[in-house]
Structure 1
Amino acid sequence: MTAGVPAPRVPRVLSIAGTDPSGGAGIQADLKSIAAMGGYGMAVVTALVAQNTRGVRAVHVPPAEFLRAQLDAVGDDVEIDAIKIGMLHSAPLIAVVDDWLARRGHDLVVLDPVMVATSGDRLLDPAAEAAIRDLCRRAALVTPNLPELAVLTEEPVARSWRDALAQALRFARASGSIVLVKGGHLAGEDCPDAIVTPDGVAAEVARRRIASTNTHGTGCSLSSAMATLGASGVDWTDALPRATAWLAGAIAAGAALGVGRGNGPVDHLHELRPHLPSPVSPVSSVSWTARVWAEAAPLRAAVNACGFVDGLRTGSLDEPVFAWYLEQDALYLSEYARVLARASALAPRSDEQVFWAEAAASAIAVESELHRSRVDADTAEPAPTTLAYTDHLHAASARGSYGELVAALLPCFWLYSDVGERFAAASHARHPYRDWLSTYADPAFAASTRAAIEIADRAAAGASAFERERMSVAFERSMRHELAFFEAPVAALVGAARAGGAMRGA
């Protein structure tokens, strides 16, 4: 900083919203988003929500008087540069916020009208919906998803991007608000966003949809990011590409967090993690791979004990369950080969470049052929567990750390080699899955596994303490994804059977 030039002021942003104890949505996501955009976050709670990545379990709403007391406590003491409003739950709470804003004057308000659940269910009664429409007049920016935009306009949900822009324009003209219209609910590979004013489309960002289940809290996060950028003096048309690029990166990196078993959160701090200081960690005489393999003993035991793996060992596994697994494994291998190719590109030594390139070719030519002999995966759709695993690998690849990527890939060698070696004795001539077991008990695969272990240890030896820790985290998360991948086939077929039974019983 040049002497005599004051540092830019940190924007102070207040979030008025509900909670999420799992940290991915609501006020918790707002505060992380505000921090990621360089702001100082504050929070007033409208509702205490018992939820996680799989859904909402209960909602407790404090009295409206307590909401007013929170708002007054912050407003009487702190100069607020922007206000983001999320979940307001009911007409009495909306009235409190509306009155508070009226008494304050001209705040920069970003309103995320939380009105429709992911399931499509309406969250507010008609009186509260009308109150939200009226509250939009106090907002500098309104950020509805397409179902919420339909509620605001009292029209059907837009089915195309052109219809969404036209609907946003009608609402902007009727309310006087500026609308951030989001294409995330549209079908197809494109996921555009736009700023629509009463005069028309002011800015538009085209983006391809990211294949990820880590989308919990994206609406909260985007609106908070926009509020912080607005508080910093950034025009909405310039804030849109910055905020959406940040959110796209957060979605892509979200799988690496390993949080939850449903739709996981995004990684709000993905841009900051490479710059965080390395933790101090003593150097051990035990190799890195020996340590992480030992630490993964409970996960390895869970793999061995799960119904799918035990059924493979005994040969008692139902054929439809194995077929479902092979379909998902074929889809996994397609993405896995791409990540192996990325490891080859990052490898610092020529022999390691060759190793990863040959592994990528093997994943496509050898293992995929085994799958084609049993199932046709061309029409299969990736299951959530498959997407979560491949998202994790792609996130490790995208961060550009060779050691972390090698660590994320290692379980797909080591765990399968371990299973194959131990199950080789059970693979008699009449074993129904002998061809699959023999592939992973093959001496050539065992040699590849030893080579992958040596490469990982070399990467760990040359890494900083911080990167070694990231490697350990990546390895452990891949082991957890492997366990989930083995557990998914039985769960999927049992779920389908129960659903079929319920349909017959109806």
Structure 2
Amino acid sequence: MALSTYSSVYPIDAPGTHTAARAIPRILSIAGSDPSGGAGIQADLKSIAALGGYGMAAITALTAQNTVGVTAVHVPPAHFLRQQLDAISADITIDAVKIGMLGDAAVIDQVRDWLEEVRPAVVILDPVMVATSGDRLLRESAGKALRSLLPLADLVTPNLPELAMLLGEPEAADWGSALDQGKRLAAEYGNTVLVKGGHLSGTECPDALVNTTGLLSRDVVEVTGPRVLTMNSHGTGCSLSSALATVQARTGDWEASLREVKLWLQGALTASEELRVGQGIGPVDHFHHLRRASSPGAFAATLWKAAVPELESIYGLRFIQQLQSGELPERDFAYYLAQDAIYLNGYSRVLARAGALAPTEEEQLFWAKASQQCLEVESELHRSWLSTREASTETGPVTKSYVDHLLATSASGSYAVVLAAILPCYWLYAEVGRQLHAAYMDAGAPADHAYADWLTTYADEDFAAATRKAINLTDAAAAAASDVERVAMMDAFTQSCRYETAFFDAPRLFA
């Protein structure tokens, strides 16, 4: 059966009100304003909101700029910036601070004094000196003052020209040289430096956390990814640093934060062409993932696309073809049912775990009921059939691997990832069952079919409804998940799909 244009009969409903239980980090950006919206405070607030934070802003400078360049910079009195900072910190607990464009030495002095007084838990310094367009945003006389801020920052995020300027060295021409410069800067100021490979050439775009004082698991933590070929990089550094502040306030783990933010920024760069903003270097699309995730069924449709090749493989298996025709040896079917009963015992525990992680009472009840049905209904049918036939009760290798995968996922994965691992046993099983039942009915529902009783159970509407519910809950969980979680969801789902195929093929190998 060709499935290249095959569509699931299990439609996706609009996602419900599922939200992940998660504290909302309060992030303060201290930076300049970009009236075109692509960089500075505007990009920071978009990034903070996109990554699930509550954004606040103390404005250090006003610029006249667009995607083509900067035409003017106005730095308000430094004491007024201090008034902004004091007003915020006197009233609101700040979980993380991102510092961007500062303008001049007087502004830097006010920020330094405030940091020493307030001592925020997380401080990220993006030493903005030159705009993407090449225009200078920090007065040359302020360079020494900016360096005085570095010891107060937990993370410094210069681009390669800025890294070289902070060290007073030529700009690094390759990744190895860039890492060496990052190590020297980290050693000099005792903090962590994010070395960014965006200014280099090549198909890969590496980033690395560098710290020589043992604050990381190793001196250099490198995270690579594909280079996105686009002209729309306006505000990339601002967006990255403010996003990192937001995620770090939630995770407390620099490597995990970088991995999550890097995926998000890759998507923002990839989707930037759709914005069509300006005639020069355009901005990134900060909310690309929210638009994608908020579309009902969007993630489930992606999962379905990944499942189709496995379904094609399943329909080509001897076991399925012989089960449909009734020619399947009873020994093979008995092995399949015996392994399915063993599998369901483990699967019920994973369903129970999903219920324990579920954020709403409705979802808790759904997964708890599903777990109970595995033991009381599904397994009972198998035991009844097997009680009159000989079948091995030993756990087969495929069954063990599949159950181990599910249990490992349920032990370490988030609610969304656990649902993705669970889903193929609903969705693929329901699709295969529907096809087998339809073929049986098309053949006139012959009474002498060896597996007639079994094939008729596939028409159960309750299981079809449960499958639709499982799909929609998974889709809603994906909408509330982070980019990193969605990657993990896809991995868990595709792995379970492969195990579904192997499970149907196991009787041929081990019966």
Instruction: Decide whether aligned partners of structure 1 residues 22 and 119 sit closer, same or farther in structure 2, where only a CA change above 3 A counts.
Output: closer
| Aligned partner of 2:157 among 108, 132, 143 | 143
Counterpart check, 1:204 vs 2:222: yes
CA-to-aligned-CA distance 1:50-103 (integer Å, 9 cap, x gap): 111111121111111111111111111100000000000000000000001111
Distance 2:74 2:166 in 1: 25
Consecutive unaligned residues in structure 2, runs of 5 or more: 1-19, 297-304, 307-511
- What is the match of residue 276 of structure 2? 258
For residues 174-185 of structure 1, the aligned pairs below 5 Å read 174-185=188-199
Structure 1 residues 190-199 or 154-163, which shifts more?
190-199
Matches of residues 60-459 of structure 1 in structure 2 within 5 Å?
60-118=74-132, 120=134, 122-199=136-213, 201-276=219-294
After superposition, what is the alpha-carbon deviation per residue over 1:239-279, rounded to whole angstroms, capped at 9, x for unaligned?
1111111101000101101111111111100110034479x
Q: Deviations over 1:204-226 (max 9, x none)?
A: 11222211111110000000110
Aligned-residue offset at 1:38: 0.6
Whether contact under 8 Å (1:194, 1:201) holds in the other structure is no
Deviations 1:410-454 (A, max 9, x none): xxxxxxxxxxxxxxxxxxxxxxxxxxxxxxxxxxxxxxxxxxxxx
Q: 1:18 matched to which residue of 2? A: 32
Kindly indicate whether the alpha-carbon contact (under 8 Å) linking 2:132 and 2:234 is maintained by their aligned counterparts in 1.
no
Aligned residue type for 1:62: P
Higher relative contact order (CA 8 A, sep 6+): 2
- 1:448-502 alpha-carbon deviations (Å, 9 max, x no partner): xxxxxxxxxxxxxxxxxxxxxxxxxxxxxxxxxxxxxxxxxxxxxxxxxxxxxxx
- Equivalent of residue 55 in structure 2, options 35, 41, 49: 41
Deviates more, 1:145-154 or 1:194-203: 194-203
What do the CA deviations read for 1:6-29 (whole angstroms, capped 9, x no partner)? 943200000000111111110010
SS in 1 for 2:57: strand
**Mean Cα displacement is larger for which, 52-61 or 144-153?**
52-61
Q: Distance in 2 between matches of 1:197 and 1:274?
A: 36
Length, aligned pairs only:
276
Amino acid at match of 1:102: E
| TM-score, normalised by the number of residues in structure 2 | 0.52
Match of 2:377 in 1: none
Which ranges of structure 1 fall in alignment gaps of 5 or more residues?
A: 1-5, 279-344, 347-506
Q: Structure 1's 263 and 120: CA in aligned 2 closer, same or farther, altered over 3 A?
A: closer
What secondary structure is seen at the aligned counterpart in 1 of 2:79?
A: helix
Distance (whole Å) between structure 2 residues aligned to residue 120 and residue 150 of structure 1:
15
Runs of 4+ in 1 over 2 A off after TM superposition: 116-127, 187-190, 199-202, 274-278
Q: 1:119: Cα distance to partner? A: 5.1
Task: State the percentage of identical aligned residues.
Answer: 59
Give the distance between the partners of 1:184 and 1:161, measured in 2 at CA: 10
SS of 1:150's equivalent in the other structure is helix
**Does the 8 Å contact 1:202/1:237 carry over to 2?**
no
Q: Tell me the distance in 1 between the aligned counterparts of 2:139 and 2:72.
A: 17
Distance in 1, matches of 2:131 and 2:53, equals 28
Per-residue Cα deviation, 1:181-218 (whole angstroms, up to 9, x for no partner) = 10111133321101001246431112222111111100
Deviation at 1:123, TM superposition (A): 3.8
TM-score scaled to structure 1, two decimals?
0.52
Whether the 8 Å CA contact 2:61–2:73 is kept in 1: the answer is yes
1:14 and 1:83 in contact (8 A); partners too:
yes
Measured in 1, the distance between the counterparts of 2:158 and 2:250 equals 22
Rg larger in structure:
2
